[in-house]
Amino acid sequence: MLILCLAIVVTALVPPLSAQSCWRDTVCTGPAQASFSGPWDRYNYSPPSRRVKPARILSSSNDYISGFPSPAILSGNGSVLVFDFAQEVGGIVTVAYSAQGHGSLGLAFTESKNWTGEWSDDSNGSFGPDGALYANITSANGSYTMPDAKLRGGFRYLSLFLLTNSSLTLDVFDITLEISFQPTWSNLRAYGGYFYSSDETLNRIWYAGAYTLQTNAISPGTGREYPLVSEGWMNDANLGSSASSVFIDGSKRDRTIWSGDLGVAVPSILVSTGDDVGVRNTLQVQFDFQKSTGEFPMAGPPLNFYGSDPYHMSTMIAYHDYILQTNDMEFLNTTWDKYKLAMTFVIQKIDSTGLFYCTGANDWGRSSQGGHNSEANMLMYRTLVSGSSLATWAGQPDLSVNWDAVAETLKTAVNSPKNNWDASFGAFKDSDVDASIHPQDGNSLALLYNGTLTNRTASISAKLMTNWNDIGAAAPELPNNICGFTSSLEVMGHLAAKQSTRALNLIRLSWGWYLNNPLGTNSSAIEGYAADGSFGYRATTGYSNDLSYTSHAHGWSTGPVSALINYVVGITLTSPGGKTWALKPQFGDLDSAQGGFTTPLGMFSASWSLMANNSGLTLSYDMPMESSGLVSVPVPAGSKAIVILDSVNVAYSYDHSIQAIELWVGGGAHELFISYD
């Protein structure tokens, strides 16, 4: 009964969704409702309405005072109340008040609870706090709405404070935030994908990643200004697009399209929120600002940074992932010539050694880049292999054969102990000439992109683990830092190497640490942090001296989202749109997991559950009728398996090299029951 009553109350409080609930004058083009609904909906952080209010009030010393709405009275110069939205949000705030006296009302914003008070955390690039917005209090009753240009893209806490030379008392009776992200969606909860497992922490992490990506989907007119403003912050720059929504790096900052970040963000967007249109718009900006040499921007307008081979190649890989997911042949057609130019731009950097020689040495933040670097070579390998698939889809089989051949030469070269492979250590050196470190990025990508020999993957995966401390995996190539981007690559790398429990443990260790941190947003994926647990990602490396500059909602840190779908639930697409697919679950230490996503062809989902007596599992799946796929399920070698498909015993083959049973199946909804002794 109690549950029933609560449900009724909640429904009554939520304003009806209407066309007006998209951002400002944006036309609503998003989905009306979620593709999948079920018990996992309770993990979805996205609010049911675009207009939200703080959940509670804290004192200036961050002590809990009360819920909100409830009386919130500021009195006298320097008085502060902190309003907690209880999760990451972003947009335009309106404060309604009744006042006695005169002076100014200050508004300051922060993602972390560590920096509440009269100064906002840092987003403007000065590596010092952004300051505050001020409203003149002139009337007895009034309201203040922050100017659009002062939009705050990512925060959890809003500090309101008074400055007065005489006396001022302010009764804050309403605060409303109009959410600016995911601008074309009237229903912010209408995800195309879902995830649900027997592990509560993983469920929360998956939805925190999905929500992070949503907060990174913005109207391209609300980017961060550049050159950096000299006072406070400004988020009214155009990001080089006339579309309605694009993907930026982080919701607070930089609010700019950074192409390398797409390498992790795009696969995760495609299987979670399912905002394919936003991905396409973002890739279109890359093509629109491509140089005549073929080079893609590292960061789009207004930053307009170039000179990064790794980011250039990440764009090309993300482009492949988008086409594979959507079968958007129209986009392939209109961009194919530019894509080929982009390929030429990097292929010509492969020298007589067969290795890629990186000259565009800007990268994600690693201490150095350039030359025959391992990370850059693994990106080049994947660019060629994914380019080969694209060439096939574009009807150019000759090109496909050509790029495959270049890829295999490069793979042989990078794996040679004379070049990048460190045989005595059992992992890749940073480059052919630098054995001082064995990088997290290059080694993770070697696993993720099949860039090494099968008999080396176990050693690489084990060596990566030696960088772990008790809160995450520190990157040797950016000492004393734990980076959400490279850790995402590592998670996927362990899964590609079939080290599933290790991958899940890293997700729990690093993303779990942040999500359970009392100073965090409790709802998003942080850009990175220092190995000692302070939030100052890169603050110790001379890049910034301000711990508060770190972004707490950064798409490049959302690797667990695609990893849990593609490897743990185990669904991947093997031809554009998913006419063919593979279902290869990895159990790790879980009892059960399920999940799915949507493509223009239809909905893809699977659910597995292990038998408690450890003698088999059920695996159900529901794929588009006109599709077919390869099911591959780990079964201990030497055991005799019985496979029952929809109550009928079926034949299967056993692949000894991966210790898995395999069978081809058609689309539709089916259940496999697999038992072994």
Ligand X SMILES: *[C@@H]1O[C@H](CO)[C@@H](O)[C@H](O)[C@H]1NC(C)=O
Q: Which tokens sit at 324?
A: 């594979």
Q: Candidates 25-33, 96-104, 238-246, 557-565 — which segment interacts with ligand X by CB under 6 A?
A: 96-104
Gap between the Cα atoms of 269 and 278, Å rounded: 9
By CB under 6 A, residue 229 contacts ligand X: yes
Least Å from the CB of residue 88 to ligand X: 12
By CB under 6 A, residue 516 contacts ligand X: yes
By CB under 6 A, residue 535 contacts ligand X: yes
Closer Cβ to ligand X, 159 or 373, answer by number:
159
Least Å from the CB of residue 495 to ligand X: 12
Which among 338, 428, 341 is positioned nearest to 377, based on CA atoms? 428
By CB under 6 A, residue 673 contacts ligand X: no
Report 579-618 residues binding ligand X (CB under 6 A): 611, 613, 615
Least Å from the CB of residue 385 to ligand X: 8
Backbone angles phi, psi at 313, to 5 degrees: -70, -35
By CB under 6 A, residue 264 contacts ligand X: no
Q: What is the CA radius of gyration of the chain?
A: 25
Gap between the Cα atoms of 81 and 358, Å rounded: 51
Which among 328, 302, 299 is positioned nearest to 314, based on CA atoms? 299
Report 409-468 residues binding ligand X (CB under 6 A): 411, 450, 453, 455
Strands 64-67 and 56-59: antiparallel
Q: Contacting ligand X (CB under 6 A), which of 21, 126, 214, 481?
A: 126
Least Å from the CB of residue 318 to ligand X: 19
Where b means 16+ CB within 10 Å and e means fewer, 404-440 reads bebbeebbebbbeeebbbeeeeebbbbbbebeebbbb
Which among 290, 287, 270 is positioned nearest to 217, based on CA atoms? 270
Closer Cβ to ligand X, 274 or 472, answer by number:
472
Least Å from the CB of residue 290 to ligand X: 15
Closer Cβ to ligand X, 336 or 368, answer by number:
336
Q: Candidates 9-17, 133-141, 299-307, 311-319 — which segment interacts with ligand X by CB under 6 A?
A: 133-141
By CB under 6 A, residue 125 contacts ligand X: yes
Dihedral sign of CA atoms 399, 562, 571, 189 in order: negative
Q: Which tokens sit at 101?
A: 């006296």
Closer Cβ to ligand X, 20 or 334, answer by number:
334
DSSP letters spanning 32-65 = SS-S--SGGGGG----SSSEE--SEEEETT--EE
Task: Using DSSP, state whether 419 is helix, strand or coil.
Answer: coil
Q: Which stretches within 373-499 are classed as H helix?
A: 374-393, 397-415, 440-448, 457-465, 484-496
By CB under 6 A, residue 165 contacts ligand X: yes
Q: Contacting ligand X (CB under 6 A), which of 98, 176, 367, 415?
A: 98
By CB under 6 A, residue 647 contacts ligand X: no
Closer Cβ to ligand X, 91 or 451, answer by number:
451
DSSP single-letter state for residue 621: E
Gap between the Cα atoms of 127 and 548, Å rounded: 8
By CB under 6 A, residue 37 contacts ligand X: no
Closer Cβ to ligand X, 258 or 535, answer by number:
535
Least Å from the CB of residue 402 to ligand X: 16
Q: Contacting ligand X (CB under 6 A), which of 47, 103, 263, 570?
A: 103
Q: Which residue is nearest to ligand X (CB)?
A: 126
By CB under 6 A, residue 641 contacts ligand X: no
CB-CB contact of 514 with 528 (8 Å): no
By CB under 6 A, residue 114 contacts ligand X: yes
CB-CB contact of 502 with 494 (8 Å): yes
Report 49-88 residues binding ligand X (CB under 6 A): 77-78
Q: Contacting ligand X (CB under 6 A), which of 59, 333, 344, 653?
A: 333
Dihedral sign of CA atoms 554, 208, 11, 67 in order: negative
CB-CB contact of 475 with 484 (8 Å): no
Q: Which tokens sit at 242?
A: 């006339």
By CB under 6 A, residue 144 contacts ligand X: no
Task: Using DSSP, state whether 439 is helix, strand or coil.
Answer: coil
CB-CB contact of 528 with 537 (8 Å): yes
Q: Contacting ligand X (CB under 6 A), which of 75, 176, 367, 534?
A: 534
By CB under 6 A, residue 228 contacts ligand X: yes
Gap between the Cα atoms of 616 and 622, Å rounded: 20
Report 232-251 residues binding ligand X (CB under 6 A): 232
Least Å from the CB of residue 138 to ligand X: 8
Closer Cβ to ligand X, 118 or 662, answer by number:
118
Least Å from the CB of residue 96 to ligand X: 7
Where b means 16+ CB within 10 Å and e means fewer, 268-297 reads bbbbbbbbbbbbbbbbbbbbebbeeebbbb
Beta bridge partners of 73: 171
Q: Contacting ligand X (CB under 6 A), which of 71, 291, 337, 433?
A: 337
Task: Using DSSP, state whether 493 is helix, strand or coil.
Answer: helix
Which residues touch 418 (CB under 8 Å, ≥6 apart)? 432
By CB under 6 A, residue 655 contacts ligand X: no
Q: Which tokens sit at 493?
A: 């790398």
By CB under 6 A, residue 104 contacts ligand X: yes
Least Å from the CB of residue 229 to ligand X: 5
Least Å from the CB of residue 226 to ligand X: 10
Least Å from the CB of residue 104 to ligand X: 4
By CB under 6 A, residue 164 contacts ligand X: yes
Least Å from the CB of residue 170 to ligand X: 12
Give the binding site for ligand X (CB under 6 A). Answer: 77-78, 98, 103-104, 114, 118, 124-126, 128, 130-131, 134, 136, 140-141, 163-165, 173, 228-232, 333, 336-337, 394, 408, 411, 450, 453, 455, 516, 518-519, 522, 534-535, 547, 611, 613, 615
